[in-house]
Structure formats: structure tokens, C-alpha cells
Amino acid sequence: MKPIQKILIANRGEIAVRVIRTAKKMGIRTVAVYSDPDSQSLFVLSADEAYPLGGTDARSSYLNVDKVIEACLATGADAVHPGYGFLSENTDFAKKLEQHGISFIGPKPHSIEAMGDKIGSRILVAKSGVPVVPGYEGESQEMSVFKKEADKIGYPVMAKASAGGGGKGMRRINSSDELEAGILSAKREAMSAFGDDRILLEKYIVNPRHVEFQIFGDTQGNIIHLHERDCSLQRRHQKVVEETPAPNFPSSLKSKMAEAAVMAGKAVQYEGAGTVEFILGENGEFYFLEMNTRLQVEHPVTEMTTGLDLVEWQIRVCQGEPLPNLQTPKQNGHAIEVRIYAEDPKEGFLPSIGKIHHLSFPTREDLRIDSGVVTGSEITMYYDPMIAKLIVWGEDRQTAIQRLIECLSETIVFGPKTNLQFLQKLVSTDQFAKGTVSTHFIADHEDLLLKENTKEELKYAFAGLFFSSKQTLDPWSPIR
């Protein structure tokens, strides 16, 4: 296969900026595509070329397959990097690119299709010997069948949208009285989010951890794993903090799970970067949850501890190169990522839109900031309100946590409300320090995590006054 000359990034925000950075390093030209509200965004300014998709919301821009393909043809891009979300796991998009002779930087369409459906992927990986959560994934969607199957599984059960993603279409059901309402509500959410309301049932694993493995495959059939990530700190089934190595994770368990992850990848002849997610029960039993056939939001923690550039690997594999290393590389130290959002924790974490009057992070060697916004940028209602991912490295977990707390306290966002204080409280808890949190931790301690911190609030208020009077000196700022 010939080397890629020009990559179109079919995404926006921090991940578009992230992909552009590696493409530049490799001497590959980049094309940004953008919607109307994004025309002045950092990722658009960072790319070598930019092509307008028009439209405002995702559906009329980044999710519009025909418009994105038109952009590829108009700009002569020979490859597309889909980032995460949007079209990254869309089989139809990958197939259409193939038909136009444009490379999709990701797995083959058949792998995306096989893993895109939770019912189908459970059946498939179970056949290769990967443990799946006991449950029901039959054809019938009759309420009487769900009732019978839920009784067999034993309550509590989890009703899940087969087409689900991003924590949507999922309901915990505690008893047969709640079953019908739970299933109908999961179906409603699934239909509106994914246009597909098929549901499966799983045994609800109580107080579990979420542990996933980064895997990588090439076109020669090699598949390796690049260690695990613990993403147990979640809100509404969405990750908030991610780290590697997983704390309190015996090496015997790690080898068993890593082997299962590679097996799942082999089951779909996986090529490129993928993540196999597992749920880990209190007694050390683990089960396959799903495979995400794309780069993951939390991939930087893997990069910080292995020294690898996963986007570079994705591009090389797409060009037909073999994996540079057929052994799992050693991990060095510990890395933790937190997702900083423009949202109001006190208002049910409602997105907080508006202009960012000031944004600054500490600059230090052990800190990486992945962000798609700068001082002067606007957080709009159209897309995910993530401001930045803050990723710290430490020689060991304790050092990493200490540095994370410092970095969060030195981060200033003035304008929209943010989850900064919430994150700071979260990573300062004893339970997090001990590495004993389950996926229920945030929900169980919400009151404590949301409590006012007067000293901090004052500091932010002063910082805000200071920076709003100073205007912006940021050279990247579109409002300079």
C-alpha cells in the first residue's frame, strides 16, 4: 500500500487537534471539515486545509456521510481519520470510503459491523471462549420473554440497547415490578439515540470495576495488547477519570483478561486500535462488555506510560506496515486522565454554554493537556461540552494523584461553569487514593462531592475578575 499523503479528519474539537498533531509530525497534510459554529475553532486553524460542511448540529454536519465524502473528493484526501464518536463506528461510512478508494484509518467494515451491535458481539466473542455477562440476547423482544429470562438471570438485571454507546439506553432493573417500565424506557431512549430499540438483558454486576484493554492489530494478522485502563469512576455509565495501570490488579488476573481481550480482537480479524471493555466483579470474575472499534477518549494514559503514539501506529497500520513490536511494551510509571467539562455539577451536570473568557493550565513536564478550545472560544449547545482532558504522569500512582490534585487547582476556566471542583474532590478522596472505587462511587457519594468549597470558590471568583479585566493575551485566541 502506498504512503498516505493527506488525511481528512472527520471530527472536531480536541481529538481533531490531537490527530493533526501526529499527522504533522509524520509530514502528512491535514484537512479539517467543520460546521458553521466551528468555523473559527482551534482544530480548523491548526489544519493545513479546511473544508466547510455547513450545518449546525451534528446530524447536518459531522454525521452526514455524503457531505464528508464530498469533502474528501474535493480536497483530494487519500485517507480519513474518524476520531471517536460521530462516524467512527459507522460501517456504511467505512464501506463508502472503500468504494471511493479512500483509506479509513480504522478496522475493516466487517469488524466494525460485528462489534457495533452488543447482541451480535456477545454471541460472537462467547463462541471464541471470552466470558460474557450471563444474560439474554435472543431474537424475541416480547415482554413475557424478557420477564421469564430476567427471572432466570436473577435480579438486579441491566437492560441495554443493542445499538447503544456513550452510556445511553441502559437501565438497572431491581425487581420484576420494575421490569416493564425499565425496558420500555431503555427502548425509548435507544430509539431516539440510535434508531434501533432492540434490547438485551445482562445480570447486573454489583459494585464492579470497569477495566479495559487497549489492543492493536495489523494487516498481517498480528494482534497484541497495550495494557489495561481502569475507568471505574463514572457518572451515568460515562467515564470521568481513567488511569493505567489499574490499581490493586493482580498480575494473574491481568494476564487472563489480556488474553481474553486479544481473543476478542482475533474473533473479528481486528486491524488498528481497538478497546475491549470488561466489567470486573467484586470476586475477581470478569466479563466482556463490548469492543470499541476506534481510538478511545482515554488513549493518552496508555501513551504516557508506554511512550507510544497510538495515532502514528493507526496511520502506519493503515498504510500496511506491520506492528513495530510484536511484544507488549513495558509500562513506565502511572498516568491518570480527567475530563474537564463545561457543565454545572449543582444543576445535575447540565452543560454550561457560552464564551470561555479565560483558560489556562499549568505548564509542566509531567502534564499533558488535550484540548480543542482556547481563551475566547465558545462552548455551544450543539456538541459535547468537553473543555479539555488533563493527563498527568507520575513515577507511581501516589505521585500521579498528588500531581493531579496540584494541576487541577492551578487550572483556571473563567466563563462557563465547570466540573473542576468536583473532579478535585473526587481525586482527593481516601477511596480513590486506596484504589478501591467501584462504578457506583460517584452516585453513592454525590452529596459529599458536590459540597461547597468556599476557599476555592473565592479563588476562582478573584481569578475571574482579574482575567476579565485583562482581556486576552493568548496568541491562539480568535478574539485577539
Which residues are near Mg ion by CB under 5 A?
277
Dig out the grid coordinates for 409 from the structure: 487547582
Instruction: Report the nearest approach of Mg ion to the CB of residue 275 (Å).
Output: 8
Asked if residue 166 binds ligand ADP (CB under 6 A), the reply is yes
Closer residue to Mg ion (CB): 242 or 277: 277
**What are the backbone angles phi and psi of residue 26, rounded to the nearest 5°?**
-90, 0
List the catalytic residue out of 294, 316, 397, 403: 294
Written as nine digits, the cell of 48 is 493545513
CB atoms within 10 A of CB 131: 15
Q: Which residue has its beta carbon closest to Mg ion?
A: 277
> 294 catalytic, yes or no?
yes
Among 121, 162, 293, 296, binds ligand ADP (CB under 6 A): 296
- Residue 238 binds ligand ADP (CB under 6 A): yes
- Please return the burial class of 36, using the count of CB atoms within 10 Å of its CB with bins 0-12, 13-18 and 19+: middle
Shortest CB 147 distance to ligand ADP, Å = 18
**Interacting positions 369-408 with ligand ADP (CB under 6 A):** 384
Residue numbers 267-286 binding ligand ADP by CB under 6 A:
277, 279
Taking the least distance from each CB to Mg ion, the nearer of 202 and 277 is: 277
The residue (of 85 and 416) whose beta carbon lies closer to ligand ADP is 85
DSSP 19: H
Say if CB 44 and CB 68 are below 8 A apart.
Answer: no
DSSP class of 342: B
Out of 6, 24, 237, 254, the residue judged to bind ligand ADP by CB under 6 A: 237
Under rule CB under 6 A, how many of the chain's residues touch ligand ADP?
28
**H or E element that contains 103:** strand 103-104
Instruction: Choose the binding region for ligand ADP from 34-42, 230-238, 356-364, 447-455 (rule: CB under 6 A).
Output: 230-238
Please spell the DSSP secondary structure of 382-437, one letter per residue. Answer: SS--EEEEEEEEESSHHHHHHHHHHHHHT-EEESS-BSHHHHHHHHTSHHHHHT--
Please tell me the distance from the alpha carbon of residue 308 to that of residue 448, in angstroms, as a whole number: 38
Q: Which does 85 bind (CB under 5 to 8 A by kind): ligand ADP, Mg ion, none?
A: ligand ADP
Q: Which residues pair with 30 in a beta bridge?
A: 7
Give the nearer residue to ligand ADP in terms of CB position, either 36 or 384.
384
The one among 297, 304, 311, 317 contacting ligand ADP by CB under 6 A: 297
What does each C-alpha distance from 95 to 102, 110, 318, 321 come to in angstroms? 10, 9, 15, 21
**Helix/strand/coil for 367:** strand
Which position's Cβ is nearest ligand ADP?
Answer: 165
Q: Which does 32 bind (CB under 5 to 8 A by kind): ligand ADP, Mg ion, none?
A: none
DSSP classification of residue 321 = P
Q: What is the spatial distance between Cα 466 and Cα 335, in angstroms, rounded to a whole number?
A: 33
Q: Give ∠ CA 369-436-150 in degrees, rounded to 5.
A: 105
Q: Which of 244, 302, 439, 472 binds ligand ADP (CB under 6 A)?
A: 439
Q: Please, what is the minimum distance in Å from the beta carbon of residue 162 to ligand ADP? A: 10
Give which of ligand ADP, Mg ion, none residue 234 binds (C-beta under 5 to 8 Å, depending on kind): ligand ADP
For residue 123, which amino acid is it? I
Instruction: List interacting residues with ligand ADP (CB under 6 A).
Output: 84-85, 133, 158, 164-167, 170, 194, 202, 204-205, 208, 210, 234, 237-239, 277, 279, 289-290, 292, 296-297, 384, 439
Which residues are marked as active site? 294
